[in-house]
């Protein structure tokens, strides 16, 4: 098989998912196996995720593969990762623009990476919630109780902030319910921070979708909407960093973007992908001044970072 890709490796822009989906799609066509529509695209993405988990040993979720399979040009894919459900395609309103700035720091999502540790801690937190409050029937952290309830439980000590692998396995010998990460008895996991992140991130993403969908097809996006969405991006970046998945490089890019601010048309920025480097995503107004501000960020950051703009449809879109 000959594979050609314009997606750079190790930059946090889903290069592995792009290769997986393109290869799987080509083999499916050769074998006359149809993967059509949202259902077929989701099945193809799930198979690609299985390859990355089982063959490459990377404990990734399905988001990247779903986007490479079912993404649409100039739209955001609304995806519920817990069950691979496509909730829709959110149009990017007129008047705003997304950029990707490469930090130059290569990241890794293999089983020994910080990403694997954070994922493991999140599953440990979920399992503890399920066992402590079985009546709440928490299947996934995105379906957890109100985040305010979670915060109260942490503040009053009803939930642990840190748990050693040894203590967790003593309480729950059957494990944490994740097939692609393993609990190390020697490691102490920050279960509260890592487990709270997906709860709050689900809330933030839901609010971002709501704000964007409020903009009518024939309207330009307002400064209020971009400010709200941008604030959620900054919150997401800080939360990812608190989990231990940030990096000095992406922190610097986000700081430089924040310094330009709304007056220059720069509204938000955040780390992307598996963290620990990769690409920072930036939300700006679609203006010349905002484009100049992004160029200034790149110049001040140094090293002539690659900048990504635009989008394209997925393999099954």
Q: Which domains, from first to last, does the chain contain? A: 1-91 (3.30.230.10), 114-195 (no CATH)
Active site residue 217: no
**Distance, CA of 253 to CA of 269 (rounded, Å):** 8
| CB distance 181 to 120 below 8 Å | yes
Catalytic, out of 36, 64, 146, 210: 64
Taking only the tens place, the pLDDT of each residue in 144-202 is 767 888 888 888 888 899 999 999 999 999 999 999 999 999 999 999 999 999 999 99
Q: Residue 6: its pLDDT value, please?
A: 80
**What is the pTM for the complete model shown?**
0.93
Alpha helix locations (H) across the chain? 15-30, 37-51, 63-70, 114-132, 147-155, 165-171, 191-213, 223-243, 248-260, 288-301
Decide if pLDDT at 276 tops 90: no
Q: Residue 161: its pLDDT value, please?
A: 95
Percent of the chain topping pLDDT 90: 75
Q: Measure the N-to-C terminal CA separation of the chain; round to a whole number of Å.
A: 23
User: Which uninterrupted H or E stretch holds 163?
Assistant: strand 163-164
Q: Residue 15: its pLDDT value, please?
A: 86
| CB distance 281 to 297 below 8 Å | no
Residue 126 exposure: Cα atoms within 13 Å on the Cβ side: 22
Residues with Cβ within 8 Å of residue 263, at least 6 apart in sequence: none
Strands 307-309 and 75-80: unpaired
Residue among 240, 236, 208, 8 nearest 96 (CA): 208
Residues with Cβ within 8 Å of residue 183, at least 6 apart in sequence: 120, 124, 165, 168, 169, 175, 176, 189
Mean pLDDT rounded to a whole number for the chain: 92
Q: Residue 10: its pLDDT value, please?
A: 67
């Amino acid at each position: 098989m000959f594979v050609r890709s314009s997606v750079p490796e190790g930059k946090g822009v889903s290069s592995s998912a792009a290769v997986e989906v393109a290869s799987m799609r080509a083999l499916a066509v050769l074998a006359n196996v149809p993967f059509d529509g949202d259902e077929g695209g989701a099945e193809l993405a799930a198979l690609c995720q299985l390859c990355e988990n089982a063959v490459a040993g990377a404990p990734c979720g399905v988001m990247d593969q779903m986007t490479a399979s079912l993404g649409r040009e100039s739209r955001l894919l609304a995806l519920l990762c817990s069950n691979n459900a496509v909730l829709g395609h959110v149009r990017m309103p007129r008047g705003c623009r997304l950029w990707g700035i490469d930090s130059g720091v290569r990241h890794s999502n293999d089983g020994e990476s910080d990403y694997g540790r954070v994922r493991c801690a999140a599953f440990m937190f979920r399992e503890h919630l399920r066992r402590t409050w079985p009546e709440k029937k928490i299947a996934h952290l995105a379906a957890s109780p109100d985040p305010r309830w979670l915060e109260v439980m942490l503040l009053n000590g009803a939930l642990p902030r840190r748990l050693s692998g040894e203590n967790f396995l003593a309480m729950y010998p059957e494990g944490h319910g994740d097939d692609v990460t393993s609990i190390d008895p020697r490691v102490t996991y920050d279960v509260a921070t890592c487990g709270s992140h997906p709860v709050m991130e689900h809330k933030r993403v839901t609010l971002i979708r709501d704000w964007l969908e409020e903009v009518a097809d024939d309207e330009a996006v307002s400064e209020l909407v971009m400010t709200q969405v941008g604030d959620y991006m900054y919150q997401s970046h800080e939360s990812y960093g608190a989990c231990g998945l940030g990096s000095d490089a992406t922190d610097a890019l986000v700081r430089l973007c924040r310094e330009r601010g709304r007056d220059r048309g720069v509204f938000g920025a955040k780390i992307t992908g598996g963290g620990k480097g990769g690409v920072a995503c930036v939300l700006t107004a679609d203006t010349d001044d905002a484009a100049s501000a992004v160029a200034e960020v790149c110049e001040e950051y140094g090293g002539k970072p690659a900048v990504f703009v635009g989008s394209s449809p997925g393999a099954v879109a």
